[in-house]
Structure 1
């Protein structure tokens, strides 16, 4: 029995003008977007539709922008009669997955994401950290090599079998990149991000997020969510609150997430939101899964 999953992208997929075509050409989308924009204390609409790019790149804007666009598109996909058995999201995409699963309403999910963006930014500015992508080496080898480095540096995003992102202190990242290349990594590239996301240095953000999450009315999920940190199914409010806390300084186990979906009968995945990053990763993890991209009003109309 073939099953469907929805997956949602993370940071780095944003672009100026994101969501504008959907807003201008679909009545349902316009209402959803306006509802989201009204609940925020800053002008997300202007940042998304008109930029400038430097503004949209700020975590405070980037994260809610991606989740807002993803969840409005998700609603339009459901309007076509397409419903998922499972959902998952990559990093901040997990907040879109929460909305899709029914843990929170669309505007609640975006509001919580907006808080996440602010708190992540605040903690990132207080630590001198960064991230780097390691290409052409398996994650087990990377984890072993990192044990030899002084300072905080951890494998945090397990994106596909030969691409893992590391995060930690800047000096430790530099040393790790050199050593990993010496040991056979094809490339070790520092990423243009403002902090060591998903590493233990971000734990103070987790504490603040845990407090904030208590102000929201989480419901039992209608659809199973595959958690970033464990690749296990979550359906209960307490489980998702624990994940919100852990995920801010814990790993994104994307390879295990896709394997979990496959094991449970998923053969079609809809990547919903800006960009096509996840489709590329999924193909590297499992070529048999059919991936359908939905990132514009045209994509929705073509479903």
Structure 2
């Protein structure tokens, strides 16, 4: 059995998702950043709270999986999720991940505090979405993440994104909506944040990955510290090619995927693309049931 651990980014956060988070992780976040995780609707409008909360939740899930002697064969993080993926791969420590994500979220918020964000269009190809962006002729709107063949994200000014979304609806899109991401992530607008990460990572000790890591910026499988580091620093300025990442995972012989918290969006995407793949979504299943299923599937494979 070959397992893929999936780490979502922003968008799946919800009040109460940290109810079971261990106190030591909450204290660790506060000690390292000065931020107290409050886990409510108001604070989840703030990029710093969102990113630190999701990271903390994913660090907890990693601990849970490791406690039942699970290790990934492949890891894939979407945007913010690259830091959880790097921890799971043994590249980055919990402490450094928290400090880096705090810096990342702070710089993102400073760069574009209001009026910017992300949108998503379902039902049109990337080429069609690119044509619509050119038609509106508005500055600061970029074609961004490719989550599936017919699901493309936009980044930039909310004014411009809304104009593209209106055009998308007129041209037959199944869905066209603003995402719960308060920054123009995965666009050239995030260069200043990437520069800050470049400087910070010069002081971070990284370890060679103990499994395959799939990069955001081109979807490739990598096994070196430098490649993982490059992805963590620069993924804010490039689109996430998630569809390519999942195709590569399939080529690597993955037969089981575990999506850590929060949410289940990527389980749905991967099930649509690869319906025979076995899936576990930790937002919907406790660690005991997760352990039971993984052991059961291993016995079947053996």
Q: TM-score, normalised by structure 1?
A: 0.88
2:262 is matched with 274
Q: Which runs of 5+ in 2 are unaligned?
A: 292-302
Report the Cα offset of residue 31 of structure 1.
Answer: 4.6
Report the Cα offset of residue 291 of structure 1.
Answer: 1.2
Aligned residues of 1:33 and 1:72 also touching (Cα < 8 A): no
Determine helix, strand or coil for the equivalent of 2:118: strand
Aligned residues of 1:293 and 1:299 also touching (Cα < 8 A): no
2:208 is matched with 220
1:27 is matched with none
Determine helix, strand or coil for the equivalent of 1:142: helix
* Distance in 2 between residues matched to 1:170 and 1:11, nearest whole Å: 17
2:140 is matched with 152
* Distance in 2 between residues matched to 1:294 and 1:114, nearest whole Å: 24
Measured at CA, do residues 171 and 58 of structure 1 come closer, stay the same or move farther in structure 2, by a change above 3 Å?
closer
Determine helix, strand or coil for the equivalent of 2:172: coil
1:26 is matched with none
Aligned residues of 1:197 and 1:248 also touching (Cα < 8 A): yes
Q: List 4+ stretches of structure 1 deviating above 3 A.
A: 30-38
2:76 is matched with 88
* Distance in 2 between residues matched to 1:32 and 1:195, nearest whole Å: 26
2:223 is matched with 235
Is 1:186 equivalent to 2:179 in the alignment? no
More divergent stretch after superposition (265-274 vs 231-240): 231-240
What is the number of residues matched between the two proteins? 289
Report the Cα offset of residue 215 of structure 1.
Answer: 2.1
* Distance in 1 between residues matched to 2:175 and 2:85, nearest whole Å: 31
Residue among 116, 121, 126 paired with 1:129 = 116
Q: Quote the RMSD (CA, aligned, Å).
A: 2.1
Q: Which runs of 5+ in 1 are unaligned?
A: 24-29
Report the Cα offset of residue 223 of structure 1.
Answer: 1.5
1:143 is matched with 130
Aligned residues of 2:45 and 2:182 also touching (Cα < 8 A): no
Aligned residues of 2:194 and 2:237 also touching (Cα < 8 A): yes
